[in-house]
Amino acid sequence: MKTPQKPVAAWLTMAVLAAETVFLAWKASLDSPFLISALLGAAVIQIRTCRRGFELAATVPLAAGLAVLHFGPHVRLLYENPAGLGEFLGLSSLFVMGVRVSRSRAHEVRDNLNAFKAAVALPLFAIVSVAALPLTQRAYPVTLDRVLYAFDGSLGLQPSFVLGRLLAHLAWLRVLAKLAYEQVPVAAAILYASTMGAGQPRKPNLFVVCGVAGVVGCLLYGLVPGAGPRYLFPSRFPDSAAPLAGLALLPVVLPAGIPRNAIPSLHMAWAVLLFWNARQSAILLRAGYGLLLVLTVLCTLGSGEHYMIDLVVALPFALAVQAAFSVPVRELPRSFPFWAGSAATLAWLGFLRFAAPAWLGASVLDWGLVAATAAGSVMLERHARREYHTSKNRRRAVGPNEELETVSAPL
């Protein structure tokens, strides 16, 4: 009996994958923790979906070969940056998963292709994000860091300076917080992978939710451009906060190369979204994402990359994104959590930029607004979750034909 030949398209796919993998490994940049984390996330997806042991057995040697290709005779330099191994492991995982798709049997194609797309989505988003951040510096040459700094000061303290000194004295906590801050893509991949293989995939799609948050958040950066206190007061941070007296709330020009990505804090928004979407997971996994959220707060503030108000605005922003995916599109105009989260996000940005006389020095008002924002976001997220379950039950109860008639009746 004649053995069936592999389709030409499959061989071409594997050849393209091999060429891309070699090129990326050769030109890989090991100075982007976010990209390395995203590629590690791809490896997580591969491990979760691997059904044949030889795939994993081939992944590690291939990663080692890519590292040798990148460093050449200077491979010992890898000891100075061991995290770079994650980049080569991720590239190797993507190649092996691509080969798996090209060799899939008919009944395996769908699952293997979905897993491959999920694995590719992480590094692709990271590459776009890393490329987009420098654009914010060119788009917004001046920032409103003094406004954001003054609001934090109106609360009676500068949380970023307080936590910055704490992390400066506790090296172990600083390392742990930085690890949590940089490994958000891995955390997202773990949570996503925990639902793969179930009878029905969990909705909403976690990668889509986080991806939309990233895109919309970048667009919002321009409303109140900011960089962080460590860039506003590089000689002071974190030892001594500058007094508010005499601080003019005027735009400031910061050195080139500093992205304007302070408000809303996307790392905070992602950590909140992961925590909310981990509620259906095992208790240890939920606890892990709760710890990730706490460490993200510590690192975003303690590193001097954000002001406290950046994290506060991230809460209604995350609520709006989560609520947007909690109901079908046709029901979105009636979703109170979505509109409340969107309105609160824009209201905060406008309040900070145009209403300084109202909030400057008004600590009672400022704390009240911060507390109301945090409590309201938590309560409305629960409401959004109920909306999701109600909408899902309604779709189950109404058959396709009945639903069509119901929608068509008013027309």
Q: Do residues 258 and 301 touch, judged by C-beta distance below 8 A?
A: no
pLDDT in tens, 25-47: 545 555 678 888 888 888 889 88
pLDDT in tens, 163-175: 999 999 999 999 9
Confidence of residue 293 (pLDDT cuts 50, 70, 90): very high
Rounded Cα gap, residues 65 and 205, in angstroms: 34
Residue closest to 342 by CA, chosen among 313, 311, 302, 367:
313
Whether the link from the prior residue into 238 is cis, omega within 30° of 0, is yes
Confidence of residue 210 (pLDDT cuts 50, 70, 90): very high
In sequence order, the 6+-apart residues with CB closer than 8 A to the CB of 111 are 49
Q: What is the mean pLDDT of residues 205-228?
A: 93
Average pLDDT over the chain, rounded to an integer:
82
In this prediction, residue 223 carries a pLDDT of: 94
pLDDT in tens, 123-167: 888 888 877 888 888 888 899 999 999 999 999 999 999 999 999
3-state secondary structure 310-375: HHHHHHHHHHHHHHHCCCCHHHHHHCHHHHHHHHHHHHHHHHHHHCHHHHCCCHHHHHHHHHHHHH
In this prediction, residue 100 carries a pLDDT of: 81
Q: Where are the beta strands (DSSP E) in 136-260?
A: 142-143, 252-253
Residue closest to 294 by CA, chosen among 163, 122, 204, 192:
163
The count of other CB atoms within 10 Å of the CB of residue 354 is 10
Q: Where are the beta strands (DSSP E) in 203-270?
A: 252-253
In this prediction, residue 202 carries a pLDDT of: 57
Q: Do residues 366 and 154 touch, judged by C-beta distance below 8 A?
A: yes
Which of helix, strand or coil describes residue 142?
strand
pLDDT in tens, 70-129: 666 555 555 555 566 777 788 888 888 887 877 777 777 778 788 888 888 888 888 888
Residue 301 has pLDDT above 90, yes or no: yes
In this prediction, residue 377 carries a pLDDT of: 95
How far, in Å, are 113, 115, 340, 408 from residue 97 at the CA level? Answer: 9, 8, 42, 44
Residue 406 has pLDDT above 90, yes or no: no
Element (H or E) spanning 38, and its range?
A: helix 33-49
In this prediction, residue 370 carries a pLDDT of: 96
In this prediction, residue 318 carries a pLDDT of: 97
The first and second tokens of residue 77, run together, are: 């330099």
